Amino acid sequence: MNKSNIYTPGDKVETMADTQVQGNPETILSHAELFKKQIWRVTDVMAFTGLGYSTLMRYTSKKRIPHRKRANKLYFIPQEIMNWIDEGD
C-alpha cells in the first residue's frame, strides 16, 4: 500500500494466505484446501477464522469454540467451526 494507507490499483493486498502463522508458511492453506481435511489443527482454524493464537487459546480454554483435545493437542472439526460461526457469539 502507499504511504497514506489508501489502496490504489497495483498495490499488493495481503491476505491471510499470504501471511505466516506461527512462523511456518506451509501451514497456510487456501479455504478449498482446508475443507479437504477432515480434522483441523490450530493453524487451520486461525487461517480460516482470522483469530489470533492467543484468542483461539482463550476460546478453547473457556469452551467458547468447539474442539477436541487428545494428548495435549487440539483438534477441530471443520463443520463444527462453520456451525459455530453461523450461530454467532
Burial of 74 (0-12, 13-18, 19+ CB in 10 A): middle
Q: Are 68 and 35 in contact (CB under 8 A)?
A: no
pLDDT value for 16: 42
The answer to whether 14 and 7 have CB atoms below 8 angstroms apart is no
Is 8 among the domain residues? no
Residue 10 lies in a domain: no
- Looking at the domain assignment, is residue 56 inside a domain? yes
| Global confidence as pTM | 0.65
What value does the mean pLDDT take over residues 60-83?
Answer: 96
Between residues 54 and 4, the one the model is more confident about: 54
Domain that holds residue 75: 29-87
Q: What percent of the chain has pLDDT over 70?
A: 66
Distances from the Cα of 41 to the Cα of 4, 7, 21, 73, angstroms: 37, 33, 12, 8
- Decide if 9 is inside a domain: no
Number of domains making up the chain: 1
Q: Residue 54: its pLDDT value, please?
A: 97
Q: What pLDDT is stored for residue 19 in this prediction?
A: 42
- Domain assignment present for residue 37? The answer is yes
Task: Give the count of beta carbons closer than 10 Å to the beta carbon of residue 56.
Answer: 20
Is 71 among the domain residues? yes
CB 47 within 8 A of CB 33: no
Give the mean pLDDT of 17-26.
45
Residue 77 in any domain: the answer is yes
